[in-house]
Amino acid sequence: MHKPLVLILMGSDSDLPIMEKAADVLNEMGVPYEMDISSAHRLPERTAEYAKNARGRGIEVIIAGAGMAAHLAGVIASHTTLPVIGVPLKSGALNGIDALYSTVQMPPGIPVATVAIDGAKNAAYLACSILSIKYPEIAERLESFREKTRKSLLEKSKELKKL
Ligand SMILES: Nc1c(C(=O)O)ncn1[C@@H]1O[C@H](COP(=O)(O)O)[C@@H](O)[C@H]1O
């Protein structure tokens, strides 16, 4: 069993249906990951420990997903210099706009690379891109995924023209 390179954290188990899409992509890409629930609001000490220990445990990228007042990714970024990818989640009365703003609007020096609302898949692809700098096999898998997407779209275009 390979040691996890990506840590996926989410603020609540209610975030799992979206956040497991990041796990699906990492599985497809053959990237070992670890996934857990940890809230900066409800479990502040544990969340800080997760972030502080991540690099020492061999984690290279962190993906953090949360809805509403989504401080999880930013708080994690404040405790580590690893790249942190934030996924604002659609939850609560404001449909994810609250989570988007609170994830993306970080003060200078503590960046969170923020993907779209519910963009868990792209968070995983971005994690793969970051890892591809060091791991040529991940770069190759990304290339072949892009090639597959390209071919499938061209095929669909051909089918459409037949109609
Ligand atoms: N934004 C945060 C944080 C945090 O930022 O630390 N912890 C939980 N939450 C979010 O609260 C929403 C409602 O959570 P519940 O469904 O557990 O009530 C979830 O989307 C979660 O990510």
Supply the ipTM of this predicted assembly: 0.99
36 is in an annotated binding site: no
Ligand 1, atom 21, residue with closest C-alpha:
11
- Tens of pLDDT along 74-126? 999 999 999 999 999 999 999 999 999 999 999 999 999 999 999 999 999 99
Distance 112 CA to ligand 1 centre (A): 18
Cα radius of gyration (the chain): 17
Ligand 1, atom 16, residue with closest C-alpha:
14
Asked if the model's pLDDT at residue 1 lies above 70, the reply is no
Which one of 91, 94, 104 would you pick to mutate in the ligand 1 pocket, going by the greatest count of ligand atoms within 8 A of its CB? 91
| Integer Cα distance of 9 and 154 in angstroms | 36
- The residues facing 63 across adjacent strands are 8, 85
Q: Does domain 6-162 have CATH number 3.40.50.1970?
A: yes
Q: Domain residues of the chain, as ranges?
A: 6-162
Quick one: which of 120, 128, 125 has its CA closest to 22? 120
Model pTM?
0.97
Distance 20 CA to ligand 1 centre (A): 16
Mean pLDDT over residues 140-155, rounded? 98
55 is in an annotated binding site: no
| Integer Cα distance of 163 and 161 in angstroms | 5
